[in-house]
Structure formats: C-alpha cells, structure tokens
Amino acid sequence: MRVKTPFYHYDMELLENTLQALNNAIPSPNFKVHYAIKANAEKRVLELIQKYGFGADCVSGNEVQTAIDTGFNPNEVVLAGVGKSDDELITAISNNIHSINCESIEELEVINEIAGNLNKTADISFRINPNVDAKTHAKITTGLSENKFGIPISEVGRAVEEINKMQHLHLKGIHFHIGSQILSMDPFVKLCKQVNTLLEDLEASGVELEHINVGGGLGIDYLNPEENPIPDFEGYFKTFHQHLKVRDGQTVHFELGRSVVGQCGSLISKVLYIKKGATKNFAIIDAGMTELIRPALYDSYHKIENITADSALGIDNYSVVGPICESSDVFGELEMPITKRGDYLCIKSAGAYGQVLSSNYNLRDKAATVYSDEMSLDECLDQQNAELA
C-alpha cells in the first residue's frame, strides 16, 4: 500500500482497548450503548465496533443503511434528526429499527402516515429538549430551549394526546441529547433530574415506557491525549446509575460517539513551506480545513506534534496553517522543534468528527485511511522517506 499525505491513521489497538474499557464499564445489563456513527463511519472502525456487540445511533437514512449493511442488528439501531426526509423514514420503518426518535408533533403525523402506507407500526420515542445547559461550546450544545432539537418539555403532554390518536405508532421511550464534548458530570446529573420528573409526569398520565435514551456527549482529553487515551466511562455510567430512577424492566440507552473513536485517529500531514510572516512563522502543511474542520469551525484545540523534527536544533513558535484559500484554515499556534519543509506533523485526537466532516472544497482529493494493523505510523514514514531517497 502506498500512502500519500495528508492521511488519517487509525490506532486499531487503542480502538480495541477503548471498546473493551467501554464494555467493562457498563454497570448493568439494562444499559445499552449505541455507537453514534456520525462521529466516524470508516469501514473497519464500524466493523470493529459492531463486533463488540454495540448498537448504532444514526442521523440519516444512509447511516441506517450503512449500520445494517455493516451487520448492526436493526433492532439495536436508532434514528434521530430534526429533518428526516420521507425516504429516510421509509428506510427506518421498513427495516424495523429499534426506535425513531421523533423531534416534533408534525413529524409524528408524517411517520404515522408513512407507517400506515407501509402497513407497519413504527416504534418511536419522543426526543425531548430538556433545557439543560451542557456547558460546552455553543455550536455543539443541543439541549437548550433556543436549540432546534427535540420537542419542548411543555409540549410533551400534547404530543402524548396526539400519539394516542395515531394508529401506526408505538411509543416506546423518551430520548435526550444535551450536547457534545462534556467533561463535567454536572450537566448529566441535571439531565437525570429532569428525566426523573418527566417520567413521573408521564406515568401519572398513564404512559408507560420501555426505555430512556440519554444520548451521548461524553468528552475526551484533547489537551493530554497520551496521558488519557481512554475516557472515564466508569464515572460516566455511574452518574446515570446513581441519579436516574429507572423502573423495573426499563432499559437505559446511550449514544456515544466521540468518546469511542476520538483518540484513535490522527491526521498526518507534511510540511510544505515555512514562511516568515511579518508577525509570525507559518508552517504551511498539506492538510487543511478540508480534512479537519474542527479548529476552523469551533476554535477547537488539537495537539500537534512534529514527529520527524530534529529536537537538537532548538524550538520556535509556529502558526500551523493549511493550504486552503480561507483565513480560518488554521490548526493552531504552538511551539515546536525547528520545523522545515518535508517534516511530518501529527494532529491528534482527530478520530471523531474529523474524516466524516471532510470536504473536497478547492477540488481537493480525499485523504486516505490507514489502519495501524495494516501499516504502522513508522512504516508509513519509512515509506515516504524511501520515496524521497
């Protein structure tokens, strides 16, 4: 296999260790994890996660189809999204997925009609907006009233009245997702309290639920990926185990994305030029926001390391930038060993919301995918050097 920068390199051993840690941390057979495919949908990543027996959390018809084609059990596939198209709903209903997480009363009507046309009963849950502040970046907060997601708590009573009139829907559960990259457990505790109150209210009006889906959101350590490669799954599940008042027979579902795949992926890029600007040094690399848009979109931090520098040469400050014709195409400002054309940089913690968010803006090629058990990072670099020699 011949690799060309920029490429994504996946540490399959770390992914496997993460999946094992996740499995070991699950405190009860009633806790079910659905991997959020949106975080990373590379083939072998999905295959390994499926092998561990997790379900899938999807946000499009294509994700549902990909999950099923990969071997995820349709009965462990869930679908959310504020704007599901009729075709996407047909895919979900015809495959008898575990639950369509419905985000508005109008959507209930549409699902009821489509299910009727297909001669089916669709299993659904209400995705509810709990108005809980996830205390994360505003652009990845989803559970506040001002966000477009979910049915407002104040409308849940009306949603129950409406669903009682619909013949082709079966209400199985309630669903929440307050946001992403959440490192403090406080927002999750607040969510549990909201859910407990809502469950009591629903029971008082005669609604019995099979499951509670609390979404995803557990964050990862972008600052110290080497020290903390695996998130604290135990602490996360314990929070829900302690604070959620689950009824007998009810299952609790989680939709984890970033925490499962975030640390196993790196973006590897080559330095094209070092330019002395008027105020700073630019290290211009061959990866851009087209391969990893998170810094440009959310000002997010990714640790960057020059993996081929000669550290004896000293250090300097660099603004690491991509080649794209956009001023926001910046990966970070940092101190690195003296860096020169031809050095390789590793941009870490890029396994989640990295490759899936890439584009071919400027008509760029798609970055390749390299799995560590097919080619280690050292082997990739040796190959590059051999080609130069």
* Smallest distance, ligand LLP to C-beta of residue 343, A: 27
Q: Which is nearer to ligand LLP, 148 or 245 (CB)?
A: 148
The four Cα atoms 23, 28, 29, 33 give a dihedral, to 10 degrees, of -50
* Smallest distance, ligand LLP to C-beta of residue 254, A: 8
The one segment of 90-98, 249-257, 325-333, 339-347 that binds ligand LLP by CB under 6 A: 249-257
By CB under 6 A, tell whether 91 contacts ligand LLP. Answer: no
Say which amino acid occupies 197: T
Query: Can you name the residues that pair with 7 across neighbouring β-strands?
Result: 268, 368
* Smallest distance, ligand LLP to C-beta of residue 264, A: 14
By CB under 6 A, tell whether 346 contacts ligand LLP. Answer: no
174/213 Cα distance (integer angstroms): 6
Binding residue for ligand LLP, selected from 353, 364, 380, 384, defined by CB under 6 A: 353
By CB under 6 A, tell whether 288 contacts ligand LLP. Answer: no
For residue 46, the 8-state DSSP code is: H
Q: Which of 220, 281, 211, 222 is nearest to 251 (CA)?
A: 211
Q: Which of 321, 323, 379, 372 is nearest to 345 (CA)?
A: 321
By CB under 6 A, tell whether 180 contacts ligand LLP. Answer: yes
Binding residue for ligand LLP, selected from 216, 231, 295, 323, defined by CB under 6 A: 216
* Smallest distance, ligand LLP to C-beta of residue 262, A: 8
By CB under 6 A, tell whether 217 contacts ligand LLP. Answer: yes
Backbone torsion region of residue 215, taken as left when φ is above 0, otherwise alpha when ψ lies between -120 and 50, otherwise beta: left
* Smallest distance, ligand LLP to C-beta of residue 181, A: 6
Cβ proximity of 171 and 233 under 8 Å: no
Token pair 């929440």: residue: 176
Binding residue for ligand LLP, selected from 57, 123, 221, 329, defined by CB under 6 A: 57
For residue 85, the 8-state DSSP code is: -
20 to 49: interface string for ligand LLP, x by CB under 6 A:
----------------x-xx----------
Query: How far from 357 is each of 176, 280, 319, CA to CA, in Å?
Result: 23, 29, 23
Binding residue for ligand LLP, selected from 42, 88, 255, 286, defined by CB under 6 A: 255
Query: How far from 61 is each of 84, 107, 285, 342, CA to CA, in Å?
Result: 8, 15, 36, 42
| Beta strand spans in the chain (E) | 7-10, 31-36, 55-58, 77-79, 99-102, 122-129, 151-152, 169-175, 211-213, 251-256, 265-276, 281-285, 304-306, 315-321, 330-337, 344-347, 368-371
By CB under 6 A, tell whether 348 contacts ligand LLP. Answer: no
Q: Which is nearer to ligand LLP, 318 or 353 (CB)?
A: 353
Cβ proximity of 265 and 351 under 8 Å: yes
Q: What is the per-residue DSSP string for 89-158?
A: HHHHHHTT-SEEEE-SHHHHHHHHHHHHHTT--EEEEEEEE------S-GGGB-SSTTSS-SEEGGGHHH
299-338 binders of ligand LLP (CB under 6 A): none
Q: Which is nearer to ligand LLP, 35 or 318 (CB)?
A: 35
Binding residue for ligand LLP, selected from 6, 61, 130, 257, defined by CB under 6 A: 257
The one segment of 9-17, 255-263, 308-316, 380-388 that binds ligand LLP by CB under 6 A: 255-263
By CB under 6 A, tell whether 122 contacts ligand LLP. Answer: no
134 to 153: interface string for ligand LLP, x by CB under 6 A:
------x-------------
Binding residues vs ligand LLP (CB under 6 A): 36, 38-39, 57, 80, 140, 177, 180-181, 215-218, 255-259, 294, 298, 353
